[in-house]
Amino acid sequence: MKNIEYIIVGDGYAGLFFAHQLIKNNKSFVIFSEGRKSASQVSAGIINPVVLKKFTTFWKAQEQIDFLTQTLEEIKSYTGKNYWIGSSIHRIFHDENEQNLWMKKSGNEDLSGFLSQNFEHIDGVKNDFDTGKVIQSARLDVSGFFNGLFDYFEKNELFVKEKFDYTQLDVKVSSYKDLTFKNIIFCEGIGVKENPYFSVIPINPNKGHHIKVKLSREIPKDITIKKKHFLFPVNDGLHFYGGTYDREQLHHHIDDSAVVQLVKGLSELYPHDFEVKEVNFGFRPTVKDRRPIIGNHPDYKNLYVFNGLGARGILNGCYFSKSLYDCIEENIPLHAEVDINRFK
């Protein structure tokens, strides 16, 4: 039997940011990956403190951005790579009313640090009413982040590349196959539905597609454009456009209507030819009250769940990985807003 402090099940943002807390605090662990492309790996990587429909912000947005910046620096110190792309979001205005609303909101105390008052015009895309820049928005280099951390796990023999088999877990003696552990953290995204200990938590899958396209004419490279969806450059001369939201069509293959929706959205924004080169999809683990679900099992106290990251996997995953770590190791209570016990 090998004795370790933590087992992590799941290799998306929840699992990786929690693993970082363990690395930082010199805790022993292994992380299970079933080798499927997670929702996290198909995500756009947008880091955004503003709700772009209504021009509002959300709970602890500034704290979350600051904490992410610091965390990515820490991860850089042992993987050797930078994953922060300083490309700010430019939100295209539909009309003058939106411009006025943005300007008004930019005077609010909670939004003045996020909404720029200088409207900018972007060449190469349709933006008759210009754009508003979201200050402090950025992007994560998604593939770089996963490659960097997966390489680190592999080199340090932390990676278990197999599907975690719940029937092999002995909760009475805290063992799994030839491992004994102190705590186990389940970070399976929508895969939690198969977990007999936490399948009841109210996670709703929300399917998202993105397309990667070849544009026929250049657009500015250093910004992220937002109209219906996000548009920005990725590798190989392609651009990412997405993602859609769908709570109904939850089958595990590409949904043609989502692709049609994306092509239409991009055509309205980009008035030149483009070619769709790739389509990907994933399932966001969402919760009705839009807050993560964190906490332990009512009977088996060393079984924890870290889920419900919703549409903001990066900020939520990063920030609340520390809340969970502090709860386990320092006995600091979780915020009531994210505590699993709110569903009792």
Beta strand residue intervals within 10-151, DSSP E? 29-32, 46-47, 50-51, 56-57, 84-85, 89-92, 131-133, 138-140
- DSSP bridge partners of 230: 226, 242
* Cβ density class 246-257: b for 16+ within 10 Å, e for less: beeeeeeeebee
Q: How far is the CB of 316 from ligand FAD (least distance, A)?
A: 7
Confirm if 191 and 13 have CB atoms less than 8 A apart.
no
Which of 241, 189, 238 is CA-nearest to residue 211? 241
How far, in Å, CA of 84 to CA of 137, rounded? 10
Q: How far is the CB of 140 from ligand FAD (least distance, A)?
A: 7
Residue 91 vs 312, nearer CB to ligand FAD: 312
Nearest CB to ligand FAD, comparing residues 130 and 289? 289
Report, in Å, the least distance between residue 159 CB and ligand FAD. 11
- Among residues 32 and 150, whose Cβ is nearest to ligand FAD? 32
Shortest CB 281 distance to ligand FAD, Å: 7
Q: Which residue is nearest to ligand FAD (CB)?
A: 12
Total residue length of the chain: 344
Contact 222, 89 (CB under 8 A): no
Binding site for ligand FAD (CB under 6 A): 9-15, 32-34, 36, 38-40, 42-46, 163-164, 187-189, 191, 208, 210, 242-243, 282, 284-285, 307, 309-315
User: Could you give the CA distance from residue 269 to residue 265 in angstroms, rounded to a whole number?
Assistant: 7
Nearer to ligand FAD, 41 or 99 (CB): 41
Of 43 and 136, the one with the shorter C-beta distance to ligand FAD is: 43
Q: Which helix (H) or strand (E) holds 148?
A: helix 142-155
Give SS3 for 119: coil
Q: Which is nearer to ligand FAD, 30 or 327 (CB)?
A: 30
- For residue 311, which of 324, 292, 294 has the smallest C-alpha distance? 292
